Structure 1
Amino acid sequence: MRRSSRFVLPAVLAVIGLALVLWLTTRPAAPTASARPGVPVRVVSVAERDVPRFTTAIGSVLSLHSVEIRPQVEGVLTQVLVKEGQWVKTGDLLATLDDRAIRASLEQARAQLGQSQAQLQVAGVDLKRYKLLSTDNGVSRQTLDQQQALYNQLQATVKGNQAAIANAQVQLSYTQIRSPVTGRVGIRNVDEGNFLRVADTQGLFSVTQIDPIAVEFALPQQMLPTLQGLLRAPVPAVVQAYLDADGQSTLLAEGHLTLIDNQVSATTGTVRVKAEFANAQARLWPGQLVTVRLRTAVDNNALVVPPPVVQRGIDGHFVYRLDGDTVTSIPVKVLHQDSGLSIIAGVKAGDRLILDGQSRLRPGARVEVTPDAPPGTDVAEHGSQP
């Protein structure tokens, strides 16, 4: 019995030792610091391109030429030759008035002119005869002077008759109402058959020029030097008109800066500005409110990144640049920033900067780039929106 226990104990110890060796060789290795996963981030490359700068305001569309059609003589409206909403050109006949009374006055003035011309002709013959007779005292000097005065009087009468004819012709032309401008006819206020007076407060209709057209808007007085420089520039400053609807901005037309008002408003501290637009498709309409973007400058070869790339620290702005699988903090200077992009200095075109996940980073941190990119980060193709 004592002999058997002497052999069993070493056998048990051998089995335990073998099991311990097997466990040590097969257990999983403890994770090391270098095997820890990196911080997931998204990156974007620095783009280099020309970036225009804009200032935004609310503007009102104005016609460059709008006319209220009113009669210049009294008479019955006999005919309206245009329809509401019709496009007309300068000189087109719009309406006619009853002209019979004016034509009668014109014929009467012509008859009086003929009578005066006949009297003048007789007086001229007599004056010539009296001058010949006066050389040998055939008529008195007084008679010659009286004939000369009569001749002069009849000359003045002829001129008066000619002026009366011209006046009647002008009055007759007023019975044909023609368009003074190329534009669009508005809503008609008076129908045919009504008697029109010059003193009537309401006109027949309006004719409004649509193309070209203007937009007026106001900007702070601090921008006055910039505006003056834009007007002096050889190339007109670009102005864009947008329509804001349903949360979206639609470009209606692109024009150029034409005018700065001659004074600043003392109550608002703003100056009125006017821009002119080609409007062949009539996308701009008089009285319409639009969002105006005035291009004030262009940054050539600017380094552009989305706004979330730039971080603010105690010492100023900085960005995280991707170097291999780690990041480096790079101080930058923000030259311009809006809702769509930031123009920075301190990096190079093509540098890969951290776009998302900066809150978990520090210089030298290991990162893991995720393949997906958020929408709207392609600043190389899209600029800021109004």
Structure 2
Amino acid sequence: MAILRTSRSRIATAAIVTLAVVGLGTFGAMRVSANAPEKAAAPLPEVDVATVVPQTVTDWQSYSGRLEAVEKVDVRPQVSGTIVAVNFKDGALVKKGDVLFVIDPRPYQAEVDRAAAQLAGAQARNGYAQSDWQRAQRLIGDNAIAKRDYDEKQNAAREASANLKAAEAALETARINLGYTRITAPVSGRVSRAEITLGNVVSAGASAAPLTTLVSVSPIYASFDADEQTYLQYINGARNGRKVPVELGLANETGYSRSGEIDSVDNRLDTSSGTIRVRARFDNADGALVPGLYARVKVGGSAPHQALLVDDAAINTDQDKKFVFVVDQQGRVSYREVQQGMQHGNRRVIVSGLSAGDRVVVNGTQRVRPGEQVKPHMVPMTGGDAPSAPLASTAKPAAPAKADS
């Protein structure tokens, strides 16, 4: 019995010790938990936000077109003969009146000399016939000459006068043909290559092969097809004398480097395409614009007016709707449906849905949802013309708690 009581006493003592250890452990854990800092809240998402401000804009419509020379000439010979001189380099700039080709002038100079000799003979015969008729006029008054002889002398005088005029015309024609042996530039511009070279024989006439082509340099046309709405809203004013501004950019340019104006509008609308042919004129003093080049053309028709412009990157699409995220003064995000207008560079006119002073998310829209709170980082409304300022650095994570010694 004594042994049994001793065993029970030892078991009870061990149980008490175990409970004491567990209690101390629980108390220590509760103490450490009480001293540990609370878990840090998640940082707010940071986004770039820009303020909507009204700006003065002019509405433009953009088109694609081709450059065309104001004057284009196929240089053809007007007399036949052998090419004895080519006085230009392929692709050179020439002035009006510069001699481009020379055809052998000797046959034509001989024709001039022959016509001049014939003219001298006609002048002599005409002088004699006129004097003879004047004598006959005096004699007929005294009845000293027969009426038939008088009529013959009068007719001879008239015939001699006509022959004189024919000889003068023949000499003028010969001189013109001699002048045609020197083929000159009819306009100032840039020549193509010489299609007919030195020593070749050429024929005259409109059906003859061109010797070269010549295009004017400045000004230059840009032709494009405008739709009916643009014609009615913008271009039609050009018919009434109003200057319609036009800007031009080439394929290798991102913007529009040259300004011009509408020069002419076709007399009818093409019903099959719904467009009308328009031609704009641009200065090309540096000769950089070449006929045939692709051109981007934009036409401005409205008077300058105030409008709200928003960076294209801030505008989102929800099926057939356009919307932006607006951030209030408390940093709360809201969904705002907008109606778009004309595009200006990388910015878009907002017709409705926004007011001046509204703050819209322009970078980081994928990180926000309506109703959430964000940390806005204010940037200018660049519209893509300049990069937005970088986002502020994210919040640092909370440092781990130090254990008590």
**Into which bin does the TM-score normalised by the smaller protein fall?**
0.7 to 0.9
Matched, 1:204 2:204: no
Contact 2:87 2:99 in 1 (8 A): yes
Rounded Cα–Cα distance in structure 2 between residues aligned with 1:309 and 1:125: 101
1:19-58: CA deviation from partner (whole Å, max 9, x where unpaired): 59983993457679xx664343321121332233332332
Contact 2:60 2:342 in 1 (8 A): no
Cα distance change of structure 1 residues 115 and 313 upon mapping to structure 2, 3 Å threshold: closer
Rounded Cα–Cα distance in structure 1 between residues aligned with 2:324 and 2:85: 76
Question: What secondary structure, in the 3-state scheme, does the structure 1 residue paired with 2:160 have?
Answer: helix
Contact 2:235 2:301 in 1 (8 A): no
Rounded Cα–Cα distance in structure 1 between residues aligned with 2:191 and 2:106: 28
Contact 1:260 1:271 in 2 (8 A): yes
Aligned positions, number: 364
Rounded Cα–Cα distance in structure 2 between residues aligned with 1:211 and 1:62: 11
Question: What secondary structure, in the 3-state scheme, does the structure 2 residue paired with 1:334 have?
Answer: strand
Code of the aligned partner of 2:124: A
Rounded Cα–Cα distance in structure 1 between residues aligned with 2:373 and 2:255: 44
Instruction: Measure how far apart 1:158 and its partner are.
Output: 0.7
- Structure 2 residue aligned with 1:234: 242
Code of the aligned partner of 2:273: T
Instruction: Measure how far apart 1:218 and its partner are.
Output: 1.8
Matched, 1:304 2:309: yes
Cα distance change of structure 1 residues 86 and 47 upon mapping to structure 2, 3 Å threshold: same
- Structure 1 residue aligned with 2:392: none
Cα distance change of structure 1 residues 357 and 103 upon mapping to structure 2, 3 Å threshold: closer
Range with greater deviation from structure 2 (50-59 or 173-182): 50-59
Rounded Cα–Cα distance in structure 2 between residues aligned with 1:94 and 1:155: 40
Question: What secondary structure, in the 3-state scheme, does the structure 1 residue paired with 2:276 have?
Answer: strand
Match of 1:81 among 47, 72, 87: 87
Rounded Cα–Cα distance in structure 2 between residues aligned with 1:134 and 1:256: 76
Instruction: Measure how far apart 1:358 and its partner are.
Output: 6.6
Matched, 1:121 2:153: no
Cα distance change of structure 1 residues 380 and 348 upon mapping to structure 2, 3 Å threshold: farther
Matched, 1:159 2:202: no
Match of 1:323 among 329, 340, 347: 329
Rounded Cα–Cα distance in structure 2 between residues aligned with 1:310 and 1:298: 26
- Structure 1 residue aligned with 2:8: none
- Structure 1 residue aligned with 2:223: 216
Question: What secondary structure, in the 3-state scheme, does the structure 1 residue paired with 2:251 have?
Answer: strand
- Structure 2 residue aligned with 1:195: 201
Cα distance change of structure 1 residues 205 and 25 upon mapping to structure 2, 3 Å threshold: closer
Structure 1: tracts of 5 or more residues without a match: none
- Structure 1 residue aligned with 2:267: 262
Contact 1:40 1:369 in 2 (8 A): yes
Code of the aligned partner of 2:383: V
Cα distance change of structure 1 residues 283 and 258 upon mapping to structure 2, 3 Å threshold: same
- Structure 2 residue aligned with 1:354: 361
What TM-score does the superposition give when structure 2 sets the normalisation length?
0.77
Matched, 1:107 2:113: yes
Rounded Cα–Cα distance in structure 2 between residues aligned with 1:130 and 1:25: 151
1:234-292: CA deviation from partner (whole Å, max 9, x where unpaired): 33322212214xxx636453322212222233433322221111112222111222332
- Structure 2 residue aligned with 1:26: 34
Sequence identity (%): 25
Code of the aligned partner of 1:154: A
Instruction: Measure how far apart 1:74 and its partner are.
Output: 0.8
Matched, 1:282 2:283: no
Question: What secondary structure, in the 3-state scheme, does the structure 2 residue paired with 1:59 have?
Answer: strand
Contact 1:243 1:252 in 2 (8 A): no
1:102-148: CA deviation from partner (whole Å, max 9, x where unpaired): 22222222222222222222222222222222222111222212211
Instruction: Measure how far apart 1:192 and its partner are.
Output: 1.4
Contact 2:314 2:365 in 1 (8 A): no
Question: What secondary structure, in the 3-state scheme, does the structure 2 residue paired with 1:49 have?
Answer: strand
What TM-score does the superposition give when structure 1 sets the normalisation length?
0.81
Contact 1:320 1:328 in 2 (8 A): yes
Match of 1:249 among 230, 242, 254: 254
- Structure 2 residue aligned with 1:180: 186
Cα distance change of structure 1 residues 322 and 230 upon mapping to structure 2, 3 Å threshold: farther
Code of the aligned partner of 2:376: V
Match of 1:143 among 140, 143, 149: 149
Structure 2: tracts of 5 or more residues without a match: 1-12, 387-405
Rounded Cα–Cα distance in structure 1 between residues aligned with 2:161 and 2:367: 102
Question: What secondary structure, in the 3-state scheme, does the structure 1 residue paired with 2:236 have?
Answer: helix
Question: What secondary structure, in the 3-state scheme, does the structure 2 residue paired with 1:262 have?
Answer: coil
Rounded Cα–Cα distance in structure 2 between residues aligned with 1:209 and 1:138: 72
Code of the aligned partner of 1:156: A
- Structure 1 residue aligned with 2:276: 271
Rounded Cα–Cα distance in structure 2 between residues aligned with 1:307 and 1:361: 19
Match of 2:382 among 367, 371, 378: 378
Contact 1:47 1:379 in 2 (8 A): no
Matched, 1:47 2:53: yes
Cα distance change of structure 1 residues 127 and 225 upon mapping to structure 2, 3 Å threshold: same
Instruction: Measure how far apart 1:330 and its partner are.
Output: 5.2
- Structure 2 residue aligned with 1:71: 77
Rounded Cα–Cα distance in structure 1 between residues aligned with 2:29 and 2:199: 121
Cα distance change of structure 1 residues 217 and 22 upon mapping to structure 2, 3 Å threshold: closer
Contact 2:122 2:163 in 1 (8 A): yes
Rounded Cα–Cα distance in structure 1 between residues aligned with 2:102 and 2:60: 51
Question: What secondary structure, in the 3-state scheme, does the structure 2 residue paired with 1:119 have?
Answer: helix
Question: What secondary structure, in the 3-state scheme, does the structure 2 residue paired with 1:249 have?
Answer: coil
Contact 1:77 1:193 in 2 (8 A): yes
